[in-house]
Amino acid sequence: MNSSALLRRSLISALATLACVEVAAGIVDPMERPAAMLSASQRPALLDVTRAGDRLVAVGERGVIMVSTDNAKSWTQSPSPVAVTLTAVYFVTPLKGWAVGHSGVVLHTNDGGTRWTRQLDGIQAAQAVLKAAQSDTGTESRLKVAQQLVAEAADKPFLAVSFENEVRGVVTGAYGLIFGTEDGGATWTPWLDKIPNPKGLHLYAVHLDGKSVYLAGEQGLFVRSKDGGQSFTAIETPYRGSYFTLTSASPDQLVLAGLRGNAYRFDTRADSFQKLEVPIPVSLYQCREQFDGDENATRRTCDCGRSDGRWCFGCSHMEWGKTGRYACRSSSRDASTTTRKTISMAHVSIPIQASDADNFDPQSGSWLERKLFNNRGIVVLLCALVTLILAFQVPGLKLNASFEKMIPTDHPYVANYLAHRKELSGLGNSVRIALATSGASIYDPAYLQTLQKLSDELFLLPGVDRIQMKSLWTPSTRWVGVTEDGLDGGPVIPNDYDGSAKSTEQVRTNVQRAREVGGLVAIDERSSVIFVPLLDKTADGKPINYSELSKQLEQIRSTYQTATLSVHITGFAKVVGDLIEGLQSILLFFALALVITTVVLYSYTRCVRSTTLVVVCSLVAVLWQMGLLPMLGYELDPYSVLVPFLVFAIGMSHGAQKMNGIMQDIGRGLPRQVAARFTFRRLFMAGMTALLCDAVGFAVLMLIQIRVIQDLAIIASLGVAVLIFTNLILLPMLLSYVGVSAAATQRSLNDERQDASGGAKHPMWQFLDLFTQRRYASFAIALAVILAVGGYAISLGLKIGDLDAGAPELRSNSRYNHDNSFMTSSYGASSDVFAVMVKTPEGGCNHYDVLRRVDALEWQLNGLSGVDSTRSLSMLNRQVLVGMNEGSPKWFDLIHSQSMLNTVTASAPRGLYNESCSLLTLYAFLADHRADTLTRVVETVEAFASENDSADGKFLLAAGNAGIEAATNIVVKESSRMMLLWVYAAVIVLCFVTFRSWRAVVCAVLPLMLTSILCEALMVELNIGVKVATLPVIALGVGIGVDYALYVVSIMLTRIRIGDDLSRAYYQSLLFTGKVVMLTGITLAVGVATWAFSPIKFQADMGILLAFMFLLNMMGALVLVPALAHFLFPRAALSGNTAAVFSR
């Protein structure tokens, strides 16, 4: 090797301004650590394979050595003492073999490849060259080269190895490196000065045949020694490109093959060449004679091989990693002048007589009651005025979604992403549009012309980050190829493209050169993708309107989709657009819920006027809520748009309670105005308590640090506040004017009159009353315990996050998920991207130590189930190194050469690092965004970061849609239990304030807990995870579900306190409120059950879960409450001893 070789080896060393830093404690130099054992999902690049008796032995990247004893049907990894890429392997006997690789390592085995030891490394090799040069004082240039080798340490690979027998062998490598041994590798002697290689060309192949030694390498280099390596002479070849493989064809013939499909048979006697025809002009890196005539066995050992007679040539295509397709008493007041005591409790069931109306004092009741009912006309007019004003505000309410509102912006992962979002353009929000043809391929002039028009139209859409947009037609999409004259390149679609057959074929070639098959071009080459990153705001400074953007994309779809062309669109913006489109059909479900709940309510009342008033007041509540939102600066999003449904359903249930009280009082002979006031007096506090519990269910959602959920909590709480006016105040006032039909009032008291006259009990109420007896109470509680234990066992399988592939917000058969499935299957990679950021000092992103740690993390991620592939600057360095060495896969390694790393970084796309070289990005493309997949990735990265973070490189999580979803999952997991604890604590406090009895509180709350457990079990069975969409269900199910217990326990406790035993008290509560409790449960359940038919998956999930919880809570209030009361209430209460109850 001379000075020109030294110059070539240090191509831009003069430009290198960054020095290598010390090795981090977490990552040992690959030459000094053993190769990691592969996981089941890791697929390393294997670069060479050979026979060792009846075994096959293969070597490859990261020191991997694989052995097969069944002709490649199965492989077993052998331990390797190094983790550097191994490039070649050779066995001289079934037991003795050698492997060589990067960092100048030579490995040896004596047992057929099971155990290996290191014989030589690059540092020892450099010292040997220096020692030899020092002994030859006559050659100063040789000494300089040797000193340079020592200074550069072990950064040069050996590329080939061959042995004549067990003791005599040769290894060759980069920049003319060559060493020989005569003692089986115990010692190695440098032969650099013996080769006519003034340019220091790479020596890719070596073959020993007796005393003859043949070498082949770069630029047509082919040399021979006839004296055992003492001297070499060059042989001129017909081709001036590089040769990568050299194999014996017969005792007198060799086969040379190399760049761009050039292969020759060399006659060693006549020194002549005969060209071999290769079907496709791809570079050939391996040539193996088929073994024992078993062509199948050979094909397994030739990576992407092509056979030509008895020869198998390995082509340039390689797998660069894995294949993938690899939820009281109050103060009493006498309401009349009679001697009968009236206790003003929440839901008191004391018969009111008609004489009460004659003695009714309009100035009686609370201050609020007097002010409202004594001025009811003014109050009704004010409500009508408010309704009119807010109705005019409703058209200003918008339905939209913000990307940042749907992510946990305060979480460290998302904070890291937001801090660097300008340097990670397109990662958080982008759209991919694929244009597919039903023809043979995209290489058709008509297709390419349509693709150009589509690309141009997308380029002009508002909000598009045009600099980062990419398609086959964008100038940034370029190819780089290796020729005999070096590197060549240009745009994938040439500037002189004219649509001719020749020009179209050139596009095909350029796409393959650019390695865009599986990237911008589908694996089957029948579609191509346009990548459209989006900005946060349009050019006029307004946030992107996803609804409008989605409509524009659909217009584009309809424009370009034909009988032979189809358009597929994926990305966050399209998901939100489709959600908004689907949610616009919510009016249909609202109308359906309105009809069903109206029918259910009318079937109970059989009164048109009262039913109409309940429905109207519930609709007014919705109108008030929707009118207030734009006035307060809020808009509806895909989650909060469901809140009006709940407000309407809650309004209907509470309205039914008020109507039931007024109906029964009128049936007892009271005028409608007096009946309305008595009902208000009895039920206002109960209703307030119930609505406060509902509000608590919403308010605890504020604990979830995701803006869209916090907005949902505020919007829902606003709706509950509105219900206080419309259903607790306005409805009784309107009923005081219109009253209830006489037939309805008499029907409502049938059961009560029958019970008072000693007639037969209502069969349903009689059955439920059985649960106040020990036998039936014991059975009910035992069944509840069994359900709780079984449900809890099932709920342990509850997962956090999305459990479905694609867009889980939409149904699996939705158009979007069909498009997503098309993208995944056609391009071999999911749209789910998890990005790890690596923060370094300015200018330090390409330091060897930093890239080595990135490389180590990348390899770990590639070993995880659910990770399809990865991309990083370290991977780019490996790939570029291969490209700069004529595509030879033997260069697939991260070499310890800072000058080379500087060269690669200078031409790397900015998506891999930022402008100041202070931030690297490692992309992991995931098979899906399921919770388990994200958890594995997060745990791996966090563990790696804790061991390898340093001042020179800190690993930050996380960007990409999968990274943000991982952060969301963490927030949901941390909030779920805390939220549930808070909602139960608040409900318990409110119940205790209402009942003033801990026993009553237990009776009311335990059924809620059972429902929560069974709801989680149902989520497991329905494959629904705890996520942003379902988390509110758990809180709402508790907050709203306690309403039933409030009605039942309040009346029951009141009856006990006035002297009834438990059975009588419970039966009376059923007479007064049993039908209404059932009605409330059915009304609430029906109101949300219609969501199950929504095209929006998360809305359907919420509907099913809420309906389940509402119905189960109703059953718990009617069955478990009396059963628990039998055991919890004092024995005296069971027999009607009131004093015992009041004393505890």
- For residue 821, give every residue at least 6 positions away whose Cβ sits within 8 Å of its Cβ, in sequence order, or none: 805, 806
Task: Fill in the amino acid letter for 365.
Answer: G
- Which one-letter amino acid corresponds to residue 298? T
Fold equal for 1-8+49-236 and 366-396+586-748 = no
Task: Show Cβ contacts of residue 865 under 8 Å, excluding neighbours closer than 6 positions.
Answer: 40, 41, 933, 936
Helix (H, G, I), strand (E, B) or coil at 1130: coil
β-sheet bridge partners, residue 538: none
Name the region of 756 (left: φ>0; alpha: ψ -120 to 50; beta: rest): alpha
Distances (CA, A) of 591 to 612, 655, 1091: 15, 18, 12
pLDDT at 81: 95
User: Can you list the positions of beta strands (E) in 1053-1109?
Assistant: none
Q: Where do the structural domains in the chain lie, given as residue ranges?
A: 1-8+49-236, 247-291+301-319, 366-396+586-748, 430-492+510-533+545-583, 759-796+996-1144, 829-969
The SS3 assignment for 626 reads helix
Closest CA to 186 of 101, 128, 102: 128
Exposed/middle/buried for 292, CB within 10 Å: 0-12, 13-18, 19+?
exposed
1042: tokens are: 């306690």
User: What is the phi/psi pair of residue 823, to 5°?
Assistant: -60, -45
Per DSSP, the residues of 571-604 read EHHHHHHHHHHHHTTHHHHHHHHHHHHHHHHHHH
How far CA 836 is from CA of 30, 43, 279, 382, 861, in Å, comes to: 23, 22, 43, 58, 11
In degrees and rounded to multiples of 5, residue 722 shows phi and psi of -65, -40
* Phi, psi at 234, each rounded to 5°: -85, 145
How many angstroms separate the Cα of 721 from the Cα of each of 687, 691, 702, 716, 928?
12, 8, 17, 9, 41
* 25 neighbors 850 (Cβ within 8 angstroms): no
Q: How many CB atoms lie within 10 A of CB 15?
A: 10
Query: Tens digits of per-residue pLDDT, 698-749?
Result: 778 887 888 888 888 888 888 888 988 888 888 888 888 888 877 777 776 6
- For the domain 1-8+49-236, what is the CATH code? 2.130.10.10
In the three-class reduction of DSSP (H, G, I as helix; E, B as strand; rest coil), residue 56 is classed as strand
The amino acid sitting at 113 is: G
Stretch (H or E) spanning 1067: helix 1062-1089
Query: Which amino acid is present at 687?
Result: G
**Neighbouring residues of 783: CB distance < 8 A, sequence distance ≥ 6:** none
Amino acid occupying residue 300: R
> Residue 298 has what pLDDT?
34
Is 1107 within 8 Å of 1034 (Cβ atoms)? no
Q: At what angle do helices 731-738 and 376-393 cross, to 10 degrees?
A: 120
Q: Is 1022 helix (H, G, I), strand (E, B) or coil?
A: coil
Rounded to the nearest 5 percent, the helix, strand and coil shares of the chain are 50, 15, 35
Half-sphere exposure of 570 (CA within 13 A, CB side): 20
What is the distance in angstroms between the CA of the first residue and the CA of the last residue of the chain? 100
What are the structure tokens assigned to 556, written together?
Answer: 């584009």
Residues 929 and 962: their CA atoms lie apart, in Å, by 6
Strand partners, 433: 530, 569
The two beta strands, 46-52 and 55-60, are antiparallel
CA distance linking residue 530 with residue 827, whole number of Å: 13
Residue 558: count other Cβ atoms within 10 Å of its Cβ. 9
Number of neighbours of residue 187 by Cβ within 10 angstroms: 13
* Secondary structure of residue 1098 in the 3-state scheme: helix
Q: Count the Cβ atoms, other than its own, within 10 Å of residue 805.
A: 17
Class of the CATH-defined domain 759-796+996-1144 = mainly alpha
CA–CA dist 99, 118 (Å, integer) = 9
Residues 614 and 659: beta-carbon distance below 8 Å: yes
Other Cβ atoms closer than 10 A to 835: 26
Backbone φ/ψ region at 63: left (φ over 0), alpha (ψ -120 to 50), beta:
left
Please report the pLDDT score of residue 675 as a whole number.
82
Half-sphere exposure of 209 (CA within 13 A, CB side): 18
Question: In 320-343, which positions are buried (b, 16+ CB within 10 angstroms) versus exposed (e)?
Answer: bbbebeebbbeeeeebbeeeeebb
Fold of 366-396+586-748: Multidrug efflux transporter AcrB transmembrane fold (1.20.1640)
Rounded Cα distance, 160 and 205, in Å: 5
Q: How far apart are CA 903 and CA 881, in angstroms?
A: 10
Residue whose entry in the numeric block shows the structure tokens 């399209």: 574
The values of phi and psi at residue 829, to 5°, are -150, 140
Distance of CA 846 to the CA centre of its chain: 29
CA distances from 1068 to 1027, 1071, 1078, 1124 (A): 42, 5, 15, 18
pLDDT under 50: residue ranges of the chain: 1-25, 291-356, 1132-1144
Contact 569, 532 (CB under 8 A): no
Question: Residue 919 carries which DSSP code?
Answer: E
Listed residue (169, 161, 145) closest to 105, CA to CA: 161
Model confidence pTM above 0.85: no
Show the tokens assigned to 30.
């690959």
C-beta of residue 927 within 8 angstroms of C-beta of residue 830? yes
- 869-883 burial code (b ≥16 CB/10 A, e <16): bbbbbbbbbbbbbbb
Three-state DSSP at 338 gives: coil
Phi, psi of 717 (to 5 degrees): -65, -35
CA 1037: distance to chain centroid?
A: 27
Residues in the chain: 1144
- In sequence order, the 6+-apart residues with CB closer than 8 A to the CB of 272 are 266
811: Cα within 13 Å, side-chain hemisphere: 12
For strands 158-163 and 169-173, give the pairing: antiparallel
Coil vs helix vs strand at 686: helix
